[in-house]
């Protein structure tokens, strides 16, 4: 369970392949639909999609409420992160789950037979999201219990554990799936289509993220709708917040926010791409702080996952740097 040999190089992640295919499909869709919009509107009309540049998403120093500390580097690709008991961090790295102490020191590794796209930790267990199913790993003894497959067209990209309920984002079928913690399937939530026919809503996305809030509810990203949707544990819709705008307090790009996590004090952490931007919001939808602005990342980093520990530290997966980036709240920031 602790020390394991290196994983065979032939193993591949189905999510990595899906991301490449969707990027190609997305670029093709944007090009075709933007061109169609320009032809309809005339030669002088602007493109249908104009992702905000780093200059447009200018972050003021007073908006930044976090400071970066030493990152945790790896030799292999990092896909996901979760904060667990006693502020241990668990990362999907290559074909392993790596258990890290709060100060970033590796404690042990669990070898995998396939890449884990997403994970969550609660009550001494890890909930691992493979392409088409969940597997529960008990930390005390390493026992693993796979749940039934959701089908060959499923592609799990997020998993969140609440009080007796599991939510997972399925980008393959553009839905959120619910289970009891014992693996009993409860049903699914299919987000409504966007009310308008904007080009952005037509672009494929692997960003179906969900997080469990401290009050037992769940928050989920709305690809193409520029906001977060709020759900009760039984799947009932509670509300939403967010709108499209280059302003820092809003969401830019085409499929943002891409990631979401819960933090102490009822905060929600959001991640945007193109340019990369990490922020916090209060539960009522009001903007709180910037965690990390575009200048903190290499261009087009596409932060792959985000989590928060009990101390309010924000931990994010930087795939370009092959590391976990860690940001601590500044003095006076809740």
pLDDT tens for residues 142-158?
A: 999 999 999 999 999 99
pLDDT of residue 153: 94
Alpha carbons within 13 angstroms on the beta-carbon side of residue 7 total 20
* pLDDT, the chain, mean: 85
Give 271's strand partners.
259, 278
DSSP codes joined into one string, 180-201: ETTS-EEEEE-PPPPSS--GGG
Supply 34's token pair. 């933007």
Spatial strand order of the sheet with 314-318 comes to 66-73, 323-329, 314-318, 306-308
Angle at alpha carbon of residue 83, lines to 205 and 146, rounded to 5° = 70
Instruction: Read off the pLDDT of each residue in 60-87 and give the average, rounded to a whole number.
Output: 96
Contact 209, 222 (CB under 8 A): no
In the structure, what pLDDT confidence band is assigned to residue 254 with cuts at 50, 70 and 90? confident
* 14-23 tens-digit pLDDT: 555 554 444 4
pLDDT of residue 36: 41
Q: Which domains does the chain have, with CATH numbers?
A: 14-46+64-329 (2.120.10.30)
CA distance 151 to 177: 12
Res. 58: pLDDT tops 90: no
Give 178's strand partners.
167, 187
Q: Which of these, 60, 61, 64, 58, lies nearest to 330 by C-alpha position?
A: 64
In the structure, what pLDDT confidence band is assigned to residue 191 with cuts at 50, 70 and 90? confident
Phi/psi of residue 200, nearest 5 degrees: -55, -35
């Amino acid at each position: 369970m602790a020390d394991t040999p290196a994983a065979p190089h032939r193993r591949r992640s189905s999510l990595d392949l899906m991301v490449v295919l969707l990027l190609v499909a997305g670029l093709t869709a944007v090009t075709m639909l933007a061109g169609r919009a320009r032809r309809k509107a005339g030669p002088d009309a602007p493109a249908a999609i104009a992702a905000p540049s780093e200059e447009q998403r200018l972050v003021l120093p007073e908006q930044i409420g976090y400071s970066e500390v030493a990152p945790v580097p790896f030799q292999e690709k990092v896909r996901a992160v979760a904060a667990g008991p006693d502020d241990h961090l668990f990362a999907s790295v290559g074909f392993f789950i790596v258990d890290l102490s709060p100060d970033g020191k590796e404690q042990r590794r669990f070898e995998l037979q396939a890449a884990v796209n997403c994970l969550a930790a609660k009550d001494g267990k890890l909930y691992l999201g493979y392409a088409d199913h969940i597997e529960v790993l008990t930390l005390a003894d390493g026992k693993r219990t796979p749940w039934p497959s959701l089908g060959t067209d499923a592609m799990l990209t997020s998993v969140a554990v609440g009080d007796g309920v599991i939510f997972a984002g399925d980008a393959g079928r553009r839905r959120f799936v619910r289970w009891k913690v014992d693996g009993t399937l409860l049903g699914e939530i299919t987000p409504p289509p966007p009310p308008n026919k904007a080009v952005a809503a037509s672009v494929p996305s692997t960003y179906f993220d969900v997080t469990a809030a401290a009050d037992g509810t769940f928050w989920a990203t709305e690809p193409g709708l520029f906001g977060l949707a709020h759900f009760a544990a039984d799947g009932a819709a509670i509300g939403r917040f967010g709108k499209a705008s280059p302003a820092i307090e809003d969401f830019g790009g085409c499929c943002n926010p891409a990631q979401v996590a819960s933090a102490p004090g009822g905060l929600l952490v959001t991640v945007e791409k193109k340019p990369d931007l990490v922020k916090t919001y209060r539960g009522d939808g009001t903007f709180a702080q910037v965690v990390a602005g575009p200048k903190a990342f290499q261009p087009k980093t596409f932060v792959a996952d985000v989590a928060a520990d009990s101390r309010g530290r924000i931990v994010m997966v930087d795939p370009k740097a092959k590391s976990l980036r860690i940001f601590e709240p500044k003095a006076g920031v809740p």
